[in-house]
Chains A and B, each alone.
Chain A
């Protein structure tokens, strides 16, 4: 390794590979998006004619190739935009004209034969000149700068040109910019990857990244990572195996694609097992649908006729057992469905006829009971926001459930993830997580010990807060609590910063000072629900 790095030409080849690996996927994603995956190939053909002219005249082939590729890029884009039906024929003429001209021109050169073109066509690590590196570096900086500035505009134009035009975006200018970027990428890659293979390094890392990523942003990052690994790895391997660098790089990239595709297929198969779909679901859930929305880690469950439905792809998944829910509803002194607008949380269940009065009563009751802080559900009920629940809408015809969501113990437990309390909500939400089983509960316990702020776990999330919950965690089954560290962070509600143990101790001390009770909440006390509060009074 050290021996390899000591070689001048290898240092240059590795640097060039680094630049190519960065630049090519950045441009390639927009070509993939516009279904122009093969345009880079055609531009490579034309750039080859530039190389031939450079060899013939004794000037730098890189500059000649750059000029040829830029001219081709602009002409191709103008032909494409003009929308003539023979557009693709015109492209073919330009591209094949380029490669034909290059072969003829290079054979006219006294010291050149068509065989000299091989290094340009398929890439060779020994060909990177010191002067090339400066050019490549500047061009790569240009590509990265342009893409990072214009990426969302390029994305918008590539995804919906008509809309972009209606929004007043300079569509032609952006398309020309992309064409120029493609030409520049072709030239940057000509030494290490080769003009015939450069298109592959623009497209294949993106193909793999589409499998791995879950958004445009993340798939672009994946593409750059795969591009870098492929290009730098390819150069290293081609040195060790004495193979042409371009072919090695592309084979590695395709290898990544295969690994990603097969891995994703196996993963998807695994996910399908134990995944229950709600049958014949004609209703469309949403913040306004009238069903209680219960944020659950990285997604939202909708309480629908006693089922918890979580949106997944085009359907809904069942996330809890019917019987469990019925049991839970019954214990709260409720008959019928818990899932319809008009239910505003368990605090209000205490007096179903008058939600506001119910809450007030709970409030008074809680205030008169010094030992209450040890009873978490009560504490929550006290701090519920009854005004949000009492109204049935916000003037927009939106049921109160939209804003208030579900603020009773169920949600509180779900949000706090306090499995140790053994509250009703915990069993409701986690008993049937088909992919975690026991681990799930242990995780909830851990989080319970960590503790959350007593304020946060009873505050209902706003509709916009809902959107920050990731409805579908990356690579995780919906409904799975076992999210990993990053997933837990994401799943937490805004503002719901985790208290450290110190925070929890302080909180308990404070509660003790105020109410004369420093006891840690016990399992039994926490299982008190709305019905028991009622009975208490």
Chain B
């Protein structure tokens, strides 16, 4: 086998070239507090979109809102042209959560962790097929960990664990990849490796949304930039425009290197906008385990 065939099926899978993800006047938050308000955003096939913002600005909340992990108060979220409530083709969206390390309460090999990303493509009664195994190996190969697929993830470095998380998202062969702070807390060497991985994914035609507070690592990959500040979209445009106007748009995020701070959607520097909403059954859906 020479080059691994692309794990993610490119945009060709969706015949209608409409936006992959579309937000219209959406507000997301946790509990009763909206963290981001009135976000309108369309991610088109082939976009490599960076969502920039300082810690606590609500950029992660946008991604979590798209995935249904944060509460949605107002507006609409369309995924592949379908309202989110009707969308059940979950494997088409790959999510790389913000994690500094993988939970290592029990032994898990890289292959086992990545394999969980394939589950959404398997019926619950079904057994793992050869195609599933091949997809998992391809995903591990794409992030450059094929020499370590049988290693306990707890023995990997932080940057390698991030790549395991990316591989897990790729194992489901998604059309779009949502990444939350993939470079936070990763040293320069590993950021470089991560950027190489992303470059490979872009070459495969994957649509990528990267939430980050520093653009430097992906500068040459990103085609479009969205800046979120204080829960609102402050800028949305291509990279060239962004670079021209960056001084006025960005306050401090380029000088912000609090890599080790976990972004706390409930706290942070932003005063959350409280709006009146009825409590819904999914009230606590945003509060996951710590």
A, B in one complex: yes
Residues of A whose CB lies within 8 Å of any CB of B are 29, 32-35, 81-83, 149-150, 152-153, 155-156, 159-169, 206, 210, 213-219, 282-289, 293, 299-300, 311, 313-314, 388, 394-398, 403, 462-467, 469-472
How distant is the Cα of A94 from the Cα of B113 in the complex, in angstroms? 35
A470 touches B112 (CB 8 A): no
Q: Which of A299, A464, A471 contacts B141 (CB 8 A)?
A: A464
B284 touches A210 (CB 8 A): no
Specify which chain B residues have a CB less than 8 angstroms from the CB of A467 in the assembled complex: 111, 137, 140-141, 146-147, 149-150
* Segment 264-290 of B: residues with Cβ below 8 Å from A: 284-285, 287-289
- State the Cβ distance, B82 to closest chain A Cβ, in Å: 13
Specify which chain B residues have a CB less than 8 angstroms from the CB of A472 in the assembled complex: 148, 150-151
Task: Answer yes or no: B157 CB below 8 A from chain A CBs.
Answer: yes
* Segment 166-201 of B: residues with Cβ below 8 Å from A: 168, 172, 189-190, 193, 196, 199-200
Q: Closest residue of chain B to A289, judged by CB?
A: B144
Task: Answer yes or no: B68 CB below 8 A from chain A CBs.
Answer: yes
Task: Using A150-B124, A167-B95, A214-B107 as known contacts, say yes or no to A287 and B144 having CB atoms under 8 A apart.
Answer: yes
- State the Cβ distance, B20 to closest chain A Cβ, in Å: 15
Interface with A: B38-46, B98-106, B247-255, which one?
A: B98-106
Task: Answer yes or no: B203 CB below 8 A from chain A CBs.
Answer: yes
Q: Which of A152, A161, A165, A465 contacts B115 (CB 8 A)?
A: A152
Kindly state the interface size class of chain B when it binds its partner.
Answer: 35 or more
A464 touches B112 (CB 8 A): no
Specify which chain B residues have a CB less than 8 angstroms from the CB of A35 in the assembled complex: 105
Specify which chain A residues have a CB less than 8 angstroms from the CB of B107 in the assembled complex: 210, 213-216, 218-219
Task: Answer yes or no: B244 CB below 8 A from chain A CBs.
Answer: no
A81 touches B119 (CB 8 A): no
B68 touches A165 (CB 8 A): yes
Specify which chain A residues have a CB less than 8 angstroms from the CB of B196 in the assembled complex: 288, 397
Interface with A: B1-9, B205-213, B221-229, which one?
A: B1-9
Specify which chain B residues have a CB less than 8 angstroms from the CB of A464 in the assembled complex: 1, 4, 137-138, 141, 146
- State the Cβ distance, B191 to closest chain A Cβ, in Å: 10
- State the Cβ distance, B108 to closest chain A Cβ, in Å: 5
Task: Answer yes or no: B155 CB below 8 A from chain A CBs.
Answer: yes
Specify which chain B residues have a CB less than 8 angstroms from the CB of A164 in the assembled complex: 116
A162 touches B3 (CB 8 A): no
B108 touches A166 (CB 8 A): no
Q: Which of A152, A159, A165, A398 contacts B69 (CB 8 A)?
A: A165
How distant is the Cα of A462 from the Cα of B134 in the complex, in angstroms? 13
A169 touches B284 (CB 8 A): no
Q: Which of A83, A149, A156, A163 contacts B95 (CB 8 A)?
A: A163
Specify which chain A residues have a CB less than 8 angstroms from the CB of B99 in the assembled complex: 160
Q: Which of A81, A159, A284, A396 contacts B193 (CB 8 A)?
A: A284
> Beta-carbon contacts of B1-34 to A below 8 Å, as 1s and 0s?
1111000000000000000000000000000000
A394 touches B3 (CB 8 A): yes
- State the Cβ distance, A475 to closest chain B Cβ, in Å: 13
- State the Cβ distance, A292 to closest chain B Cβ, in Å: 13
- CB-based closest 8 A-B pairs: A168-B90, A286-B144, A156-B116, A467-B146, A462-B1, A166-B95, A394-B3, A215-B109
B124 touches A311 (CB 8 A): no
Specify which chain B residues have a CB less than 8 angstroms from the CB of A206 in the assembled complex: 106
B119 touches A149 (CB 8 A): no
Specify which chain A residues have a CB less than 8 angstroms from the CB of B157 in the assembled complex: 314
Specify which chain A residues have a CB less than 8 angstroms from the CB of B262 in the assembled complex: none
A162 touches B288 (CB 8 A): yes
Specify which chain A residues have a CB less than 8 angstroms from the CB of B203 in the assembled complex: 396-397
Q: A210-B107, A215-B108 are in contact. List 13 more A-B contacts (CB 8 A).
A: A33-B106, A152-B115, A153-B119, A159-B103, A160-B116, A165-B67, A166-B68, A214-B107, A219-B106, A289-B144, A311-B151, A463-B141, A467-B137
Specify which chain B residues have a CB less than 8 angstroms from the CB of A469 in the assembled complex: 147
Specify which chain B residues have a CB less than 8 angstroms from the CB of A288 in the assembled complex: 144, 196
- State the Cβ distance, A462 to closest chain B Cβ, in Å: 4
- State the Cβ distance, A456 to closest chain B Cβ, in Å: 15
Task: Using A168-B90, A464-B137, A472-B150 as known contacts, say yes or no to A159 and B109 having CB atoms under 8 A apart.
Answer: no
Q: Which of A167, A218, A388, A396 contacts B120 (CB 8 A)?
A: A167
A153 touches B124 (CB 8 A): yes
A215 touches B112 (CB 8 A): yes
B147 touches A32 (CB 8 A): no
A161 touches B289 (CB 8 A): yes
* Segment 62-104 of B: residues with Cβ below 8 Å from A: 67-69, 88, 90-91, 93, 95, 97, 99, 102-103
Q: Closest residue of chain A to B117, judged by CB?
A: A167
Interface centre among B105, B190, B287 (most CB of A within 10 A): B105
B150 touches A463 (CB 8 A): no
How distant is the Cα of A165 from the Cα of B71 in the complex, in angstroms? 13
Task: Answer yes or no: B217 CB below 8 A from chain A CBs.
Answer: no
A214 touches B1 (CB 8 A): no
How distant is the Cα of A137 from the Cα of B88 in the complex, in angstroms? 38
Task: Using A287-B144, A464-B141 as known contacts, say yes or no to A215 and B150 having CB atoms under 8 A apart.
Answer: yes
A287 touches B141 (CB 8 A): yes
> Beta-carbon contacts of B112-144 to A below 8 Å, as 1s and 0s?
110111011000110010000000011011001
Task: Answer yes or no: B156 CB below 8 A from chain A CBs.
Answer: yes
B105 touches A394 (CB 8 A): no
Task: Answer yes or no: B152 CB below 8 A from chain A CBs.
Answer: yes
B150 touches A471 (CB 8 A): yes
User: Could you jot down 16 A-B contacts, CB within 8 Å?
Assistant: A33-B105, A162-B288, A166-B69, A167-B117, A168-B120, A215-B108, A215-B112, A216-B109, A284-B160, A284-B189, A284-B193, A286-B145, A288-B144, A311-B147, A397-B200, A467-B111
B90 touches A29 (CB 8 A): no
How distant is the Cα of A81 from the Cα of B286 in the complex, in angstroms? 11
A471 touches B147 (CB 8 A): yes
How distant is the Cα of A484 from the Cα of B6 in the complex, in angstroms? 37
- State the Cβ distance, A166 to closest chain B Cβ, in Å: 4
- State the Cβ distance, B181 to closest chain A Cβ, in Å: 14
- State the Cβ distance, B77 to closest chain A Cβ, in Å: 13
Specify which chain B residues have a CB less than 8 angstroms from the CB of A216 in the assembled complex: 106-109, 112
B148 touches A396 (CB 8 A): no
Task: Answer yes or no: B159 CB below 8 A from chain A CBs.
Answer: yes
Task: Using A166-B69, A216-B109, A286-B193 as known contacts, say yes or no to A466 and B146 having CB atoms under 8 A apart.
Answer: yes
A163 touches B112 (CB 8 A): no
Task: Using A215-B109, A215-B150, A216-B112 as known contacts, say yes or no to A463 and B4 having CB atoms under 8 A apart.
Answer: yes
